[in-house]
Amino acid sequence: METEKIITANESKFTAGNYSEALTAFTVGWSDPDNIAEILDFIAPPIPVGRRFEFKRSKNAQAFYSESDDVRAIGAEFKRVRYDGESINEKTINKGLTIRVDHDEVAGDDWQERYVQMLMQRLLRNELRRAVTALDTIAKSDDSETAWSGDANPDADIRAMLMSAGDESGVRPNRLLFGESAWDLRMTCLESQNSAVAFKAAAAAQSEIAAKFLLEGCKVLSSRYQSSPSEKTQILGKSVYAFFAQNAISKDEASNLKRFYTPMDEGTAFRVYCDEHAKYTDLTVEHYSSIVATSELGVRKITVKEGVSA
């Protein structure tokens, strides 16, 4: 019998008798040490919904119409306008993982909480990879890579990307996401230039970069995942994304991506089951979610490389 092996959760094991109120409550107060949840919410803001839900994908042009005939004549009514859009039906998907822990391998009184934490981190990492994949799918970019070395100006490339996105959607992106390698190439490029301005730009923190580009936020995604038995891979790598997102509770606001999730009956985002046997215990963590691209307009991507600028 294999122990401490994570497998896809089996729904037949999810019974009321195996539900753990204490471990489910632990997920509420748990703080993610790797901040995976924070950057996931940055890319795809969380929206609580029922299992089946509907949202409206607005017609972008309607938000920017402008009239010259909005003056009311005496005795007449105001001009009547209408906002409409495509209604989309979606549902959240049940996701979860189970780990079997042999009782001969446990140590300490908090071993169940430690394994639940490990499962939650893994589930959130899965969600983060899905969010990045969804963002990459809707992002527009040039076919060629952009060289950030020599006398290149990385920040000028980013400004051009932001303006291009604003021209397309009418709304300037408010968030910028760097892969760790892209962030490193930007700093290396600026540090190699004999300029006080370049040195200062290279030393800028993420919050300062956001302020410089008139953005709400800027983050660097440095998380990795085990892509093979002997290799770890950066989730993002050498790319920079510009997009629009708001941490709101509305299904229909203008974020490019949203992470719709269904709260459990207890009001929690996750639920934990504990199936105890004589020699081992199966711990399961489940949740319901779906990451949806609610608007594809204005998402831009730069893929960077080392090399001499043209």
Closest alpha carbon to 29 in 113, 110, 87: 113
- Cβ atoms of 122 and 97 within 8 Å: the answer is yes
Is pLDDT at 308 greater than 60 in this prediction? no
Q: Domain segments of the chain: what residues?
A: 5-59+86-305
Q: How confident is the model at residue 68 (pLDDT cuts 50, 70, 90)?
A: confident
Q: What is the mean pLDDT of residues 149-161?
A: 92
Is pLDDT at 167 greater than 80 in this prediction? yes
Place of tokens 């004999």: 194
| CA distances (Å), origin 309, targets 150, 179, 187, 195, 290 | 6, 20, 16, 17, 41
- 108-148: pLDDT as tens digits: 899 999 999 999 999 999 999 999 999 999 999 876 789 99
Measured between alpha carbons, how far is 252 from 33 in angstroms, rounded to an integer?
A: 32
Work out the number of other CB atoms within 10 angstroms of the CB of residue 5. 10
pTM of the predicted model, to two decimals? 0.84
Is pLDDT at 309 greater than 50 in this prediction? no
Which class is domain 5-59+86-305? alpha beta
- Cβ atoms of 181 and 234 within 8 Å: the answer is yes
Is pLDDT at 57 greater than 80 in this prediction? no
